[in-house]
């Protein structure tokens, strides 16, 4: 497969103002040295607990947040070296579906205006063709075009998310970042949106970077999966390989949290890892997961493990391997 996106040693840190003048500024390490590639036509899933830096990673890749260090290349071009004009042009190829369908749509604008805005900003179509394009977009995502003159509050959460998808599709991109695109929806509506995303990919060969905290959702839609913990990638591989041979203790904890309909399966399941994710302002020394790891060794508290290929296409950062 042809490489579409290259991310290398990416860091996104935020300065935190101290509560009083005597304290020093703290640094929140939301993304702390992440490297991966995205290939044309694939769905790369990113999974991890809330607060691990998934959304910040997705926003930094699209230059909606400013990086601290590292490299982000889209089709060989460094996104952070682009001029404003070049970046605006690249926006037609890269789009984002935001997490909250309630706040990502302007409540004062009708749906027709929301979908029309990107088309006008980028001069994508002549004015007389825009109404037809809006109708086609709404029909594409399963909404009746006659609803285009309604406001966002007149739709359900699932319908609002469909409108967010339509807005992302308006400029006919090839790469879409889905930032927790179904986490705010009911389970039945989640299935509808996931199937819609898959249908659209089959039709238009989109490439997705799919971010979620629910491993079952990521496993359903993705071709490859990256597991993220406290700003870093701890394991990634092909979906089937990760499901059958998950190695990192944190990945094992995520899979052990899967609901099971088999009573015997629940009895034989290992205990779920306890505790909360440490603060990214003051992460633990060595491997960040060691305070919660049931199989930690002395070296885990001193040195952060390197990412190693333990099987073809299967990488993990753990001192056990």
Residue 266: its pLDDT value, please? 47
Residue ranges, the chain, pLDDT below 50:
266-267
Is residue 72, in this structure, part of any structural domain at all? yes
Is residue 100, in this structure, part of any structural domain at all? no
Is residue 201, in this structure, part of any structural domain at all? no
Largest CA distance in the chain: 68
Q: 125-165: per-residue pLDDT in tens?
A: 999 999 999 999 999 988 999 999 999 999 998 899 999 99
Residue 272: its pLDDT value, please? 63
Is residue 86, in this structure, part of any structural domain at all? yes
> Measuring CA to CA, which residue among 190, 193, 108, 188 is closest to residue 153?
108
CA–CA separation, 271 and 253 (whole Å):
8
What's the chain's length in residues? 321
The label of the residue with tokens 């998808």 reads 165
> 74: which strand partners?
5, 77
- How much is the pTM? 0.90
Residue 189: its pLDDT value, please? 84
The label of the residue with tokens 């930032």 reads 179
Residue 16: its pLDDT value, please? 86
Is residue 139, in this structure, part of any structural domain at all? no
Residue 184: its pLDDT value, please? 74
Residue 180 and residue 55 in contact, taking contact as beta carbons nearer than 8 Å? yes
Residue 277: its pLDDT value, please? 80
Question: Count of domains in the chain?
Answer: 1
Residue 18 and residue 182 in contact, taking contact as beta carbons nearer than 8 Å? no
Residue 260: its pLDDT value, please? 61
The label of the residue with tokens 């889209």 reads 74
Pairing of the two strands 207-212 and 43-47: parallel
Residue 60 and residue 39 in contact, taking contact as beta carbons nearer than 8 Å? no
Is residue 277, in this structure, part of any structural domain at all? yes
User: Domain of 232?
Assistant: 3-93+177-183+211-316
Is residue 146, in this structure, part of any structural domain at all? no
* CATH code for the domain of 269: 3.40.50.300
Is residue 112, in this structure, part of any structural domain at all? no
């Amino acid at each position: 497969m042809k490489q579409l996106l290259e991310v290398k040693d990416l860091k996104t840190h935020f300065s935190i103002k101290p509560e009083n003048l005597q304290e020093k500024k703290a640094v929140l390490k939301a993304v702390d040295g992440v490297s991966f590639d995205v290939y044309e036509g694939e769905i790369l899933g990113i999974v991890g607990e809330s607060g691990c830096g998934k959304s910040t990673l997705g926003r930094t890749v699209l230059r909606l947040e400013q990086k601290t260090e590292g490299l982000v290349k889209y089709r060989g071009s460094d996104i952070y070296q682009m001029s404003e004009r070049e970046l605006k042009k690249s926006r037609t190829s890269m789009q984002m579906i935001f997490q909250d369908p309630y706040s990502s749509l302007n409540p004062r604008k009708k749906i027709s205006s929301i979908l029309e805005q990107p088309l006008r900003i980028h001069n994508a179509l002549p004015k007389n063709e825009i109404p037809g394009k809006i109708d086609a977009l709404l029909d594409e995502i399963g909404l009746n075009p006659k609803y285009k003159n309604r406001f966002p509050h007149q739709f359900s959460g699932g319908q609002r998310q469909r409108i967010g998808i339509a807005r992302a599709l308006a400029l006919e991109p090839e790469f879409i970042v889905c930032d927790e695109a179904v986490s705010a929806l009911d389970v039945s509506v989640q299935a509808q949106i996931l199937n819609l995303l898959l249908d659209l990919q089959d039709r238009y060969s989109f490439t997705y970077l799919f971010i979620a905290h629910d491993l079952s959702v990521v496993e359903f839609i993705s071709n490859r999966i990256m597991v993220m913990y406290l700003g870093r990638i701890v394991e990634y591989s092909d979906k089937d390989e990760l499901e059958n041979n998950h190695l990192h203790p944190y990945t094992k904890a995520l899979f052990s949290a899967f609901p099971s309909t088999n009573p015997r399966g629940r009895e034989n399941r290992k205990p779920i890892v306890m505790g909360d994710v440490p603060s990214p302002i003051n992460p633990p020394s060595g491997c960040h997961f060691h305070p919660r790891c049931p199989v930690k060794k002395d070296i885990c508290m001193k040195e952060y493990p390197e990412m190693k290929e333990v099987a073809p296409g299967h990488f993990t950062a753990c001192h056990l391997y």
